Structure 1
């Protein structure tokens, strides 16, 4: 089957969530507005995540995986997924399922006229500190990038694969996806999506990598923006 959308699911020590991930994504594939497959990217998990991923993929034709030899971080997992997929569109969702695959259909409604559609989490079910640090980090990043996005950390996005494959690799990439698409003169839009509490597993980000590291990444982005090469071929023989 030829798939229009591939959903990339980064995984790091999420054995407690993976059976639910399988169920939710299988249910979504049945109602998806385009033909959809799933790509797990195991970011060097130390628990039983890989064993579960292999079982899930063995019993579902639309599920596939790649596995890192060692942990490289969320941005590396997302970029590896982007580089691997062959479908016209690539989606991204976290394996903690604090967003629901069902809302991919909301994003798909806008992809025909945009190159990246990102969710904005409404009624967030996170702690007060997490919500405030995220709001502050988004404000700082927005001031640097001028991308106009309110919630770039939202783990629910759809991107045209041709744009996703052109995004350069760097740590903190996942917070700058809209800005990196805009550097390619792509169109981006944000759409409200639902948010849910984490049921299993533990959060992988603390105060440092929500505030301090993103601030440092903003300076790296400004350096990249100034030196970014973007061109269009006018004629070709």
Structure 2
């Protein structure tokens, strides 16, 4: 089957970034060897994000959107993108564009052999506090999941859609995507990608929800791992 890609972009109060999102993702789509489209998921924004999203989608047939009735959080936005995608591959990038859409090509080089390929942010351009809290959170998560990933929070990923659609829903899901693929006996890989400073808008996660959130979610993951159902059909008629 020929690969096609839906790029999921969660949006929560990112009005100042959305025109740049359109420009950079359009440039990627025009240069990519994989047939690609963009799914903007408006997670209950209270600024002008929804109006701008509708304008973008009305003028560009490669852009589509989902609009939540209220704010549900990043994990819900990603899961909704998985559920609504009709392509063989799903990608994910944040609307702050601290990672480059062009680096999707680095991940695509490996998606034939692997079921999830995630970026790992080299030379991160975040503050000391943000970098340190992420390092601690990643260490906590690795000790629970043993997924071997150095930067599971990197907002640049590509996943085979049949694996993505089998990921169950819970808050904090975005921190455990590689681990959830491993639960399906899938293969995962991390690839170094570029990282940039945020140039507009404000960060949605602070110190405490970078540290306490991952710790609490780890216990939810352990419960799910114990109860998780995974099967392969050998034959049917």
Deviating beyond 3 angstroms after TM superposition, the runs of 4 or more aligned structure 1 residues are: none
Q: Which residue does the alignment assign to 1:94? A: 94
Q: How far has the Cα of 1:33 moved from its partner?
A: 2.3
Q: Which residue does the alignment assign to 2:196? A: 196
Q: Which residue does the alignment assign to 1:52? A: 52
Aligned alpha-carbon RMSD (Å): 0.9
Structure 1, residues 44-66: CA drift from partner, whole Å, max 9, x if none? 00000000000000111110000
Q: Which residue does the alignment assign to 1:6? A: 6
Q: Which residue does the alignment assign to 1:175? A: 175
Alignment of 1:139-178 (within 5 A): 139-178=139-178
1:100–1:194 Cα contact (<8 Å) kept = yes
5+ residue gaps, structure 2:
none
Alignment of 1:66-77 (within 5 A): 66-77=66-77
- CA–CA separation in structure 2 for the residues paired with 1:155 and 1:27: 19
Report how many aligned residue pairs link the two structures: 236
- CA–CA separation in structure 2 for the residues paired with 1:146 and 1:46: 38
1:3–1:37 Cα contact (<8 Å) kept = no
5+ residue gaps, structure 1:
none
Q: Secondary structure at the match of 1:45?
A: coil
Structure 1, residues 208-235: CA drift from partner, whole Å, max 9, x if none? 1100011010011011101111111122
Q: Secondary structure at the match of 1:129?
A: helix
- CA–CA separation in structure 1 for the residues paired with 2:219 and 2:33: 39
1:3–1:36 Cα contact (<8 Å) kept = no
1:117–1:191 Cα contact (<8 Å) kept = yes
Q: How far has the Cα of 1:3 moved from its partner?
A: 7.4
Structure 1, residues 163-220: CA drift from partner, whole Å, max 9, x if none? 0000000000000000001100000000000000000000000111100011010011
Q: Which residue does the alignment assign to 2:26? A: 26
- CA–CA separation in structure 1 for the residues paired with 2:21 and 2:9: 9
1:43–1:67 Cα contact (<8 Å) kept = yes
1:44–1:72 Cα contact (<8 Å) kept = yes
